[in-house]
Structure 1
């Protein structure tokens, strides 16, 4: 019996995300990657970047909200995927963004096991570190944001450790599906066969960083032609650095295998069942041109999460935080502000139906 909900849920059947009107910084130039460093986790360490809180841009900092957020990238991504969004959300959040084990500047996991469970453990360890840091919001749950593979891991974290998560934002999360997306080659299913991930990694090693980045942009972006040349060059440089790591291609292929095998889990380990248990207010955000995870999954997921709101962004693909950082930031802040308002006595918040922007 399938754990997934029926496929006939319309966007109009779930609550809409309410965009925030909070003034945001103007990203008029290329934002450089935020600084970071290694952080110990179970069995090793991961690289974590930090984005400092800036406070409101149109008023005093006194008594302005100052909370904490953790950003989790997707398959083949890195903490730098969140550079622009973290800059925008710094009006409210101190931000942390990790490189999952084997990605970005993080070391590979022990014994090279790239499982969803391992990524979940790493996120939990980083969350516990973030919560323990001294200063404003110490000891309080963190706003957790994840994209694709990182979205799936974040959902499972929020289900297992609700005490760590204030709100949850899922940007095109890699929820279990039982058919191959059109953008994928069916050869990816061979990654389930023992020995094939190693062969695939060797073949990927022959692809240049430039070819890899341009292929990723075509697959992940709704409008590839609008990606600024500076961003392309930044991504190419990052890919060059990554290609120098001997484990880089293994991390990608074995994480893909771990993702596919996770889809076969049933019972409490299944992500669709976990979604029904979520306690945190949740934003489900999808690009209408997502080629990797079918946008029709968005209302289906929002319909099963107890306290969800939905935003579908036109002309956007799989990585909304990169393609539409301001729209994404406003959706996130809208949920956070709505949640804060609901905590106030006698607060009344309208709940519009789903919105398409």
Structure 2
């Protein structure tokens, strides 16, 4: 069964896949879908264990999540696409660009890392979720997803994300945590050939800018953009800036 997904935009236009973060669904990309689908065919999907996607039994690794996306491309009969991913979605994007380079045209990596120790922190989070559910993470994650004051100023934006987090099954979320705990994509970065944009919020405590700089320095020709007044979910907190950056990177003439 393919990953849950929605397709928006004109047939025949360049295709963009959007991969969301751990604990969110494709709904986090709504501002970018609305903007980019004017000129692109946009496919937003839910990772396994998230949203309406199936949650196979663990353990998972990043290769499993990458294979899910490859299967989705096959299901949609898409040979080659642009890909943008945030956090976990970015990790999957790096894996795809390294292992399935023929399928990825241009790549955008937002608020992500190629290696994110300590593993113990991810394993502890997995244990917490299995014991108490994903809703138990809400307060801690909101403090990492957004800069101070954003939650109070924009409850209409935050409330759907909180609801989506609470709806994520404990086992699927925990198994994704374990995949991140075991992940080290750093050796793959020099082999990525897709033109790459790396974006990070200047105030991101989950994947601080040093992780973005490492990726940008290791991927040949990669470009780095650091966004002020943004934390981890930069696509939500600074939707206009992110949409502009993606459009410039994905649609520019070669």
User: TM-score scaled to structure 1, two decimals?
Assistant: 0.65
In 2, distance between residues paired with 1:303 and 1:103? 31
- For residue 98 of structure 2, what is the aligned residue in structure 1? 159
Unaligned 5+ segments in structure 2 are none
How many residues align structurally?
253
- For residue 6 of structure 2, what is the aligned residue in structure 1? 49
Change beyond 3 A, Cα 1:297–1:187: closer
Q: 1:103-122 CA distances to partner (integer Å, 9 max, x unpaired)?
A: 1111112x333221110101
Pick the aligned partner of 2:35 from 63, 69, 88.
88
Unaligned 5+ segments in structure 1 are 1-39, 55-64, 134-138, 181-185, 264-270, 343-357
In 2, distance between residues paired with 1:125 and 1:166? 17
In 1, distance between residues paired with 2:141 and 2:9? 29
Q: 1:30-57 CA distances to partner (integer Å, 9 max, x unpaired)?
A: xxxxxxxxxx3xxxx3211222249xxx
The structure whose residues are more often helix, as a share, is 2
In 1, distance between residues paired with 2:239 and 2:32? 5
Pick the aligned partner of 1:253 from 171, 174, 185.
174
User: TM-score scaled to structure 2, two decimals?
Assistant: 0.89
In 1, distance between residues paired with 2:157 and 2:149? 12
Q: 1:65-100 CA distances to partner (integer Å, 9 max, x unpaired)?
A: 921110111211211111111111112211111111
Q: CA deviation at 1:190?
A: 4.6
In 2, distance between residues paired with 1:288 and 1:68? 29
- For residue 225 of structure 1, what is the aligned residue in structure 2? 150
In 2, distance between residues paired with 1:320 and 1:301? 17
Q: 1:307-333 CA distances to partner (integer Å, 9 max, x unpaired)?
A: 211100011111111111111111111
Q: Is the 8 A contact 1:288 1:313 kept in 2?
A: yes
In 2, distance between residues paired with 1:86 and 1:108? 25
- For residue 65 of structure 2, what is the aligned residue in structure 1? 119
Q: Is the 8 A contact 1:223 1:316 kept in 2?
A: no
In 1, distance between residues paired with 2:55 and 2:123? 22
- For residue 20 of structure 2, what is the aligned residue in structure 1? 73
In 2, distance between residues paired with 1:175 and 1:223? 26
CA-based RMSD: 2.4
Alignment pair present for 1:176 and 2:120: no
Q: Which of these two proteins has the greater Rg computed from alpha carbons?
A: 1
Q: Is the 8 A contact 2:24 2:161 kept in 1?
A: no
Q: CA deviation at 1:224?
A: 4.2
Pick the aligned partner of 1:98 from 45, 48, 69.
45
Q: Is the 8 A contact 2:113 2:212 kept in 1?
A: no
